[in-house]
Amino acid sequence: MKIMLHTDIYGGQGLSTICIGRGLLRHIGQFAARTVKGRKAVVVSDSNVGNLHLEPVLASLRESGFSAESVCVPAGEDSKSLQMLSVLWNTFHGYGITRTDLVVALGGGVVGDLTGFAAATWLRGVRVIQVPTSLLAFVDSSIGGKTGIDLPFGKNLAGAFYQPRWVIGDPDVLRTLPEAEFVQGMAEVVKYGCIFDKAFFEDLEKAAAEGPLSDSFVEQMIAKSAGWKVDVVNRDEREGGVRTLLNFGHTLGHAAEKVLGYGYVPHGVAVGVGMVAAAKLSEKLGHAQVGLAERIAALLKALKLPTSMDEIGNGLFTAETLFEAMLSDKKKLGADLHFVLLHGIGEGFVAPLKPEFVRDLLPEILSV
Ligand code: GLY
């Protein structure tokens, strides 16, 4: 077992410890036993992940004295629903999960967000451990306590900030991750470079140009990205300031996901395209030099990610439908859209923009 990252978030509800290292999956019970009083645990996974990684997690919990059960939700964004939330509550009730017991989210962003919310709301909050199994979950969604479900009128509209007691990431699980899943997670990795860290962005450019990413590069990249996430959440847990920057690419990305129907394109793919469009907007508004969007697009392309709305939209949306979807995004504050823009690579900032102003520029910024 080799620990690559061991760090803490000092959240309003208490400590959340993020531990990343090869082989940790088989030690989850030991982490749990140190911090959970009860001895009942429910592991939530999905129909893809369950077959691959559930057994070692259950075995580890049982070895550490837990009576551990599991429940599987269907893989895919559709499971981030009120219906699945209710399935989890029923399961917790059926297994007699009390406030001192444990819920483990074993999966990617969907399982993590859904399970985190179910744990936050069960008996007003039961301990949860996040065990990410997708790249996106490793570097973003499992860390920082955002939990929630989608509603028919928008993504993540019902949810809670609820810090997991532990985030236990074992990069060995990424070996079984389908390539498309890995690729979409890379968009969130590139995001950290774009908004905070030029040197990291350049490392990614260099590594992508050299061909497939090596295991050791992937490990370092995960540790770096997760480290950024922890740093940001420690500075601004409830997204009143710097955490907003993590929404780079998300305003247009979420709009595209909404127009196309959630799950039609992977979240990371939509975010990648949204980042290029936001960089183009930064150029158009004179905040950044021309060429910034092209540079981000080149890196995304090298990582096998699409870079324009045309590539992902399949002719299904227009600037107008995207604009309407963007207006219903919860990150719109008052009359303004709060857009994350760049002054350059590594220099993200938030700009309040009038919706009509963005609408007029949309046709120009949507294709690179
Ligand atoms: N995924 C963005 C955040 O956690 O704030």
Q: What is the pLDDT along the chain (368 residues), one digit of tens a residue?
A: 789 999 999 999 999 999 999 999 999 999 999 999 999 999 999 999 999 999 999 999 999 999 999 999 999 989 999 999 999 999 999 999 999 999 999 999 999 999 999 999 999 999 999 999 999 999 999 999 999 999 887 788 999 999 999 999 999 999 999 999 999 999 999 999 999 999 999 999 999 999 899 999 999 999 999 999 999 999 999 999 999 999 999 999 989 988 888 788 999 999 999 999 999 999 999 999 999 999 999 999 999 999 998 899 877 778 888 888 888 765 555 578 889 999 999 999 999 998 888 889 998 888 65
CA of 21 to the centre of ligand 1 (A): 22
146 is catalytic: yes
Which atom of ligand 1 lies nearest, measured to the CA of 232? 5
- CA 328 to CA 154: how far, in whole Å? 7
Residues with CB under 6 A from ligand 1: 140, 144, 146, 239, 243, 246
**pTM (predicted TM-score):** 0.95
124 is catalytic: yes
Q: What is the Cβ-side half-sphere exposure of residue 151, based on CA atoms within 13 angstroms?
A: 10
* CB-based contact 348:340 (threshold 8 Å): yes
**pLDDT at residue 134, rounded to an integer:** 98
Give residue 210's pLDDT: 95
Question: Amino acid identity, residue 140?
Answer: D
Residue 262 has what pLDDT? 78
Q: In this predicted structure, what is the pLDDT of residue 367?
A: 64
Give 212's Cβ-side CA count (13 Å radius).
Answer: 4
Choose, from 27, 48, 165, 188, the residue flagged as catalytic: 188
- Please state the atom number of ligand 1 nearest to the C-alpha of residue 146: 4
Which helix (H) or strand (E) segment holds residue 184: the answer is: helix 179-195
285 three-state secondary structure = coil
111 alpha carbon to ligand 1 midpoint, in Å? Answer: 15
Question: Rounded to the nearest whole angstrom, what is the distance from the C-alpha of residue 246 to the centroid of ligand 1?
Answer: 6
- Residue 137: name the closest of 147, 126, 122 by CA: 147
Angle between helices 215-235 and 198-209 (to 10 degrees): 160
